[in-house]
Chain A
Amino acid sequence: MSYRVERMPEMQFRDLEQQQETAQFGMWVFLATELLLFGALFTAYTVFRYFYPAVFAEASHGLNAVIGTVNTAILIVSSVFVALAVAAVKSGRRKAFLFDLSAAIFLGTAFMALKGYEYYEHYQNNEFPGLAFDYAVPNAPIRQVYFFLYFAMTGLHAIHLTVGILLLVYVLVRAYRQHYSTAYFAPVENAGLYWHFVDIVWIFLYPLLYLIDIHH
């Protein structure tokens, strides 16, 4: 892959290599802060599930486990494509690079569409606290907490996935304009790291929210 523009390191770096290492380290530190952002919600989830295991198990039947499972598969495959894209840019295979990025973007968008459909289902089933929620059923307050946590956690995840999709689109546009090369690919790696992180968060959300009571 060829340079369109010869890339110079920024003023504060010795060379391009130091700049790329620094950028990547920055992303790892950022992911640490992201982990704690979700951590607060996981803590709240743990507390309430510990106090009300039966209500949580019962409420989890309201979730569409089929869509949840399909979405999990979609995200895992998308992460594979992101990993392939990073490998492709490192070895200079331009066509594969562009294809892998596009595939990951497509899968991410598909996830969001399915998630949106799930939210719509909850709205119709009166399981959407704040918009439409059935307070007449038994244990309604705790059910409300379960669904609030469900929306807070998957909602925060969806915001992150949207950012991830936008990042990949940005990388795709820049890749198309030949901004990256086998010598300069830190933004691709960083977008990839972010994508994998968002993916891993979902890997925890899926069993915690969907599979609490699946053996019934």
Chain B
Amino acid sequence: MKSETHISELRPPPIEPANYLNADHGVKSWLFTTDHKRIGLLFLASITLMFTLGGVFAMLIRLELLTPKGDLVSADTYNKLFTMHGVIMVFFFLIPSIPAVLGNFLIPLMIGARDLAFPRLNLLSWYIYLAGAAFTLWAIVSGGVDTGWTFYTPFSTAASNTEVIKTGCGIMIMGFSSILTGLNFIVTTHKLRAPGMTWFRLPLFVWAIYATSMIMVLATPVLTITLALMAIERAFGIGIFDPALGGDPILFQHLFWFYSHPAVYIMILPGMGVVTELICAFSRQRVIGYTGVAIATLAIAFFGFLVWGHHMFVAGEAAYAAMAFSFLSFAVAVPSAVKVFYWTATLYRGSISFEAPMLYALGFIGLFTIGGMTGLFLAALGLDVHVHDTYFVVAHFHYIMVGGSLLAYFGGLHYWFPKITGRMYPEGWARLAALTIFAGFNLTFFPQFILGYLGMPRRYYSYPESFQTLNVLSTAGASILALGLLIPAVYFLWSWFYGPPAGPDPWNAKGLEWTIASPPPKENFIVTPVVTSEAYDYEVAEIEPGLFYEEAD
């Protein structure tokens, strides 16, 4: 008896294998980390906070629009609500979402590197993001801003009496974070690929982040300067946008959209990358048309730089310029459609299973298609005059940003959650949440297409009574959407601590990130992997072992 007790006392507690989460402990080990995986999680925490705030603003907007009269908030407050909703969701959630969280976590794992090229710069980019967010929150606390997220001059520089400069500074600072993240990804993809990881063996997610990074690096500085000029004009009464000072307000719109249209592709391209990975993993097929998807990714990034003028069709743009921009906007649809066709072709004859990430991916394809097709309505010069500045536009870009980017982000979070945490989330709840989000989203935004087509303008806090039914539907949808978004928040937190262990590759998926332990060790790969095939060799693995060896002989 005595000796037995002795032995059980000596038996060591079950040891968790060393990984990036338990390698160091304490707040300091997180605040000064240069590990790309931890920085990805720091971004996850901060953008989740901002997303929640932006979501609260969205709910307040929808509640105000429940009734035709302005009764919940005043007109001024309403202007601030939609502005802060746009600013936070665009600059502090969507733009960093997939690149800074999933990109940060996955790029080195996917290309077989131990970290990004510049780990300290990576950490700096998180701190810069925090500084930008702090400025913007300061602007909110000191009264908010009411110009719309577009800051059109001369209203923003001469008329508005809200916190334009603070918000502008916040966005400018955030821009530097975005530039540094993009720079880091470009250099990493070029220089740190493992031996044998050629460009056309890269996972398409890496291609997508690479193209996104190009846009971040080349478009963001233009926004930086534009916002700086706007702030100077507002602060000192000197400048180049206000006609009273000899300036040109359309110039502001050109410069602003030179960034902000490509920014749409910063939001959607990473989503497309995620969806490509999900489609392959859950239809157990090599992606059809790898090269086509890769080239379409670059083509979208390239054309994205040439279409900004379609935001100014009714702003006094020259007729020939408008025609060129209209044509080029139609041209973007080609590579986008190419991708949709390749995804559906990959699904065809695949052995599809409907795990939660796949539900998000399928939702993405449908909603992105609707968002993209309605984009063509807006690119058409004649039709745009009718629906410009109506809820049709609002519905269109929410189909891209929420139906596209947000769904892809959630799909990606579910798919790589086991890799990030080493644990599984509850599949049943996750499917329920995915379906709730899909239903809530469509109920929110589909009525807005009709509202816009009927002529309800955006950015008004009251509307004629004939629009009420559709607005009530939209608000009901927003409530369902909010509920759907709360479910993952709960089970992700729960599974992080109590979920069943996932193992290195719970999806039986391919790609370098699934060859290492979950959660990954601190320096990712103990031995640098040598890559001999592309990331999607599903067919090879599906063949039964005996047959495989026979053929190999």
Taking beta carbons and an 8 Å cutoff, which residues of A are in contact with B? 10-14, 18, 21-22, 25-26, 29-30, 32-34, 36-37, 39-41, 43-44, 47-48, 51, 129-130, 133, 140-145, 148-149, 152, 156
A34 and B240 in contact (CB under 8 A), knowing A11-B523, A12-B192, A145-B245?
A: no
A44 and B251 in contact (CB under 8 A), knowing A36-B219, A141-B245?
A: yes
B237 at the interface (CB under 8 A from A): yes
Binds A, one of B96-104, B112-120, B366-374, B489-497: B112-120
When chains A and B are docked, how far (Å) is the Cα of A21 from the Cα of B247? 45
CB <8 Å contact, B255 and A18:
no
Task: Name the residue of chain B whose CB is nearest to the CB of A34.
Answer: B221
Chain B CB within 10 Å, residue with most, of A12, A140, A142? A12
When chains A and B are docked, how far (Å) is the Cα of A33 from the Cα of B115? 23
Residues of A within 8 A of B239 (CB): 148
User: Ordered nearest first, which 3 A-B pairs have the shortest CB separation?
Assistant: A141-B246, A37-B221, A40-B225
Chain B CB within 10 Å, residue with most, of A22, A44, A149? A44
Chain B CB within 10 Å, residue with most, of A29, A32, A34? A29
When chains A and B are docked, how far (Å) is the Cα of A49 from the Cα of B311? 24
B84 at the interface (CB under 8 A from A): no
Contact pattern, B 206-217, Cβ under 8 Å of A = 1, otherwise 0: 000000000001
Q: Which of B187, B190, B237, B258 contacts A130 (CB 8 A)?
A: B237
Residues of B within 8 A of A18 (CB): 191
State which residues 177-228 of B face A: CB under 8 Å.
179, 183, 186-187, 190-192, 217-222, 224-226
Sort chain B's interface into a size bin.
35 or more
CB <8 Å contact, B218 and A36:
yes
CB <8 Å contact, B240 and A21:
no
CB distance from B20 to the nearest CB of A (A): 13
CB <8 Å contact, B113 and A12:
yes
CB distance from A152 to the nearest CB of B (A): 7
CB <8 Å contact, B255 and A33:
no
Would you give 14 A-B contacts (Cβ < 8 Å), ordered by A?
Answer: A10-B119, A12-B117, A25-B187, A29-B183, A32-B217, A36-B222, A37-B224, A41-B225, A43-B254, A48-B248, A133-B238, A143-B246, A148-B240, A149-B240
CB <8 Å contact, A22 and B186:
no
CB <8 Å contact, A33 and B245:
no
When chains A and B are docked, how far (Å) is the Cα of A13 from the Cα of B108? 12
CB <8 Å contact, A40 and B115:
no
Residues of B within 8 A of A29 (CB): 183, 186-187, 217
CB distance from B261 to the nearest CB of A (A): 15
State which residues 68-125 of B face A: CB under 8 Å.
108, 113-119
Q: Which of B114, B190, B217, B232 contacts A25 (CB 8 A)?
A: B190
